[in-house]
A and B are shown apart, each in its own frame.
Chain A
Amino acid sequence: MSAVATKPTHSHYESNEADNFLISSKGFLSWALTLDHKRIGLMYLIGVMSAFFLAGILALVLRTELMTPDQWFLTTQQYNQVFTLHGAIMVFLFIIPSVPAALGNFLVPVMLGAKDVAFPRLNLGSFYLWVGGAIFFMAAMLYTGLDTGWTFYTPYSTQTRGPVVAATMGVFILGFSSIFTGLNFIVTINTMRPPGMSWFKMPLFLWATYATAIIQVLATPVLGITVLLLAAERVFHIGIFDPQFNGDPVVFQHFFWFYSHPAVYIMILPGMGIISELMSVHCHKSIFGYRFIAYSSIAIALFGFLVWGHHMFTSGMAEVTTIVFSALTFTVSIPSAIKVFNWLATMYKGTVQLNTPMCYALSFIFLFTIGGLTGLWLGALSVDRHLHDTYFVVAHFHYVMVGGTLVGFLGGIFHWWPKMTGKMFNDFWGLVSCGFVFVGFNLTFLPQFVMGSRGMPRRYARYLPEFQEMHQMSTVGAYLLGLGLFVALGVLLHSLRRGKKAPPNPWGGATLEWQCSSPPPYYNFQTSPTVNEPYDYTPLVYRDAERGWDYVQPESAPKHVPHS
């Protein structure tokens, strides 16, 4: 570091504080009709976090009811409605749009050194589709109470009294929001990369977003068709899913999971992209095996289309089909394992900074590894006969979706918070939130693996008393997890009022978003930023807490003449 001290001490970064995108224009309409991807990203962030808050409260309601084997305060009908709401809101309104729509919208153009996404109007349009879909969906469900589970399995969904048609129309609208976002990112990444940024010089977050966008565009239309057919079956009895009219319920499951399994990768891939960024930046070390991580994102996206049948191992598919799906399911485990090993190898000989984003990233690796490994039990056909539709499955997918995506998302929010808001958060309380989330999460879901192995079926409003202790542990864990999330929210809100001003590059990141000021100006970059290797940290030098990291031009040729 002493060697670089002799290099020019001016800041390489642009300073455009007056053009800060948050205050560059004022008034309600300047936000409501904005075409700025950063504002749209922030609006998405508020939207998805509200959905998450609501569905999280519902999770606590469920866990509280499960303190006792018999009824405490929810009837079985109410319990079924609450778990349906919890799952449906979490999946359709939170996890699917969380990383791509909120963080992705903010970051994709900035990471590309671009001014905006390729289709800014389409982007705003997809935000309003999301809002419209969300209102439609929630109103439908709250009005009379949907009780089909988020999976809408037929023939229950064609018979039940719940507002199935209205809810599926909500899903249909939300699907378009997702498709448009994906389309926008594909075009943006394909066409707007700056000179010098070849595919293999792209930050890994963009690779993950790109892989996600492919799934969004290819798989989501199938969901749209599925829910339309479901509505048609319910209203017109066209005879496709309901055996009363010569349909077959298993066909619905094939349709549904053809989207909803790839959707799992819509949920987890962007989380993995975040972790690749966080591990590299906070270890101050070039990512290990860049190409392997990038290819594994694409591999996961492609394999993800071929494994939907593992949701149906007990539904009476032909034996050969079942075996083929089991084999394909195992193939997905390999690229996921490669990613984990590469993240670990990135730490080797690095400079590990154990701050809030890094601790969330490490939690992600811990929890995602459990989530991934427990998939091996469920992929093995004979063991799955026993574990299918039990709490083992519930624990497994929560380890992936919450331990993976949510924890990764939180890590990403903390990591890019200074960039998005221009404020530093309190790292100590950030670490406290991470600790509570980690402990609470494990306490919630580890007992559920044991319960599932012992035979506790999922979606049970009442249960046998022998499971009570495990359920109670799980409930206590859920409250700890909730507390951790509230602390995280408090830390972030506190920073908005009291946080120190963030420097352009507080963590020492080498990707382009750290080259503009925090928060970025409306137009992101006044001049095209210098494209360098996304994980090359040699030109970065740490000044102090106030100025953060600075980029020093390698040797002789300073890009700008110092102002004096």
Chain B
Amino acid sequence: MIPKIRLQGISKRFVVGSRAAPALEDVNLSLNSGDFVTLVGPSGCGKSTLFNILAGLIAPDPGGELYIDGKLEPADHLLGRVAFMPQRDMLMPWRTVLDNAILAAEIDGVPRAVARERARASLDRFGLRGFEGYHPGQLSGGMRQRVALMRTFLFDRDIMLLDEPFGALDALTRAMMQRWLLEVWEGAKRTVLFITHDIDEAIFLGDRVQVMSARPGHIKTELAVPLPRPRSPDVITSSPFVELKRTLLAAVEDESRKAFAAMNQHVLPDPGEA
């Protein structure tokens, strides 16, 4: 089976003044069509850089290769090819829920009336029926996130990149949103790459979990999640889940420690100078 998207040896270093700061180093990753892959890693490990590359917003360093449906693609060809949802919902306060949801499709060239019609048809699926005329300022955090997700889904692309979409939500809303996302995904069958800080979330949602290393980021471990779908909320207390979590925690802890140590090196004064 040809993977939907495959990264081979992707690296990225940013040049700050005279210093080169490596953000990603030799990232290899492949997603099959319809996969839900989650990505966990310590803060500042370059996850967002990876997403920006996949979204076509920044170019990786020369040498890496990027394939879509088995075809080698220059990085700037990715712009407009994947549906990207950033951490902040970035809803436009002047647009209604409905018009925020159609923004991506509208920019993509779908006539407004057609896009609105399609959006109206999926209001129920996104739990927004009755709110289509509201403005973002009138919505709760969970609802705003659903509008942003709806915008991402209505931008009809096979590949979806979700960057910690539930990061800012409270635990109860987040759990509800996770189950709801799985339902929507199972109905739409898109290829999803989902960034999160939360290991439970990574296991609960993913077919596979990728653990990224501390900066410069690369894929350190990959773990398949053989839990059957659809997954019920109580799966998180089952022993296979707990077993997976133990393995992942160990891997992530290790990297978090490294990231923390690297951070302290920059922050703490040199003891010799004291």
A-B interaction: no
| Contacts from A to B (Cβ < 8 Å) | none
